[in-house]
Amino acid sequence: MDDGERRVVGRFAPSPTGPLHFGCLVAAVGSYCMARRSGGRWLLRIEDLDQPRVVQGAAEAIMRVLEQLSLCWDGPVVWQSRRSEAYQAALEQLRRQGMLFDCGCSRREILASAPHPGEEGPIYPGTCRHGLPKGRQARAQRVIVPQQSVCFVDGVFGPRQQCLADAVGDFVLKRADGLFAYQLAVVVDDADAGVNQVVRGADLLGSTPRQIFLQACLGLPSPRYCHLPLVLGDDGEKMSKRHGVVERVRPGREGELLCKILRCLGQAPPFGGHGMPPGEVLQWAGQHFEMSRVPGRDLPAGKIPRKFAK
């Protein structure tokens, strides 16, 4: 069955480190519309793997906002914190394939040996790739990265290419504190859920080559990726919780907020949404949303208007 025949399965995967912010909500709406426009499924996954950063009650607050905006997900919520066995099985597969090694290096040592950082921090110099040096104990587990490029076509940003060895080096799959890395968890989760379309923020564009590489190593299919432009605050920085959060929307303003988000994504709803039920706005969006209209640049959103906040 080719891509044109497969039923789309999309997902939204927030981290419960606090309430939703506007930029995160933009990604939720974009992923929802792209799944629904073809009659596909839209799943919800709570990425609570990094338990020290999880804020109590944040996941439930996120789900309340989604429900208030009629962003209804299909099936049960998946919680990463309950899926350690699946991640461990993937690690063991990579080790059997000779692609995993134990690393005894501290971050300070890696920084000292790699003064010229890569795209996302220091590039691992390969100290432990062929075995732990004498007197060292294993801290993290890393995957061996070959000297080759990963290529893919993004639905918004077009053709992309990255040489993992030059950009990130052998990257961590299980951290020194015993937690599984995001790159591994998201690959296993998407495959197990049958996700074949990933619509998310452009801040994760640099993670995609690592995920495609791991999918190939584990014999898993790669979804189609579409990275939405980042929403910027008044200060020109990526919108985050410090720019304002959406903990609850003022009743009667849900449709208006959804229309603002759709316009941020280059869509042109023929109404302002004021007083409209959010389900009606989403019904229109599910029929008319076009990824080709999404701007391939960051989006200035400014402050979240007070009229939307309860």
- What is the rounded CA–CA span in Å between residue 21 and residue 61? 12
Identify the bridge partners of residue 158 per DSSP, sorted by sequence position.
154
Residue 179 lies in a domain: yes
Pairing of strands 41-46, 9-12: parallel
Q: Is 241 a catalytic residue?
A: yes
175 in the same domain as 152: yes
| Residue 260 amino acid letter | K
Residue by residue, pLDDT tens for the chain (310 residues) are 344 457 999 999 999 999 888 889 999 999 999 999 989 999 999 999 999 999 999 999 999 999 999 999 999 999 999 999 999 999 999 999 999 999 999 888 888 776 556 666 788 888 899 998 887 888 999 999 999 999 999 999 999 999 999 999 999 999 999 999 999 999 999 999 999 999 999 999 999 999 999 999 999 999 999 999 888 766 556 655 554 567 778 899 999 999 999 998 999 999 998 899 999 999 999 999 999 999 876 555 545 555 565 5
Q: Quote the CA–CA distance of 284 and 280 in Å, as a whole number.
A: 6
User: What is the number of structural domains in the chain?
Assistant: 2
Within a domain: 213? no
What is the CATH number for 144? 3.40.50.620
> Can you give the residue range of the structural domain that contains 115?
97-184
**From 134, 238, 241, 307, active-site residue:** 241
Report the predicted TM-score, pTM, of the whole model to 2 decimal places.
Answer: 0.91
Domain termination site, one of 149, 184, 219: 184
Whether 238 and 297 share a structural domain: yes
Pair (123, 69) in one structural domain: no
DSSP 88-154: HHHHHHHHHTT-EEEE---HHHHHHH--S-BTTBPPP--TTTTSPPTT----EEEE---S-EEEEEE
Grouping H, G, I as helix, E, B as strand and the rest as coil, residue 175 is coil
| Residue 207 counted as domain residue | no
Is residue 271 one of the residues assigned to a domain? yes
One domain, residues 55 and 126: no
- Concatenating the DSSP letter of every residue in 200-240 gives EEGGGGGGHHHHHHHHHHHT-PPPEEEEEPPEE-TTSSBP-
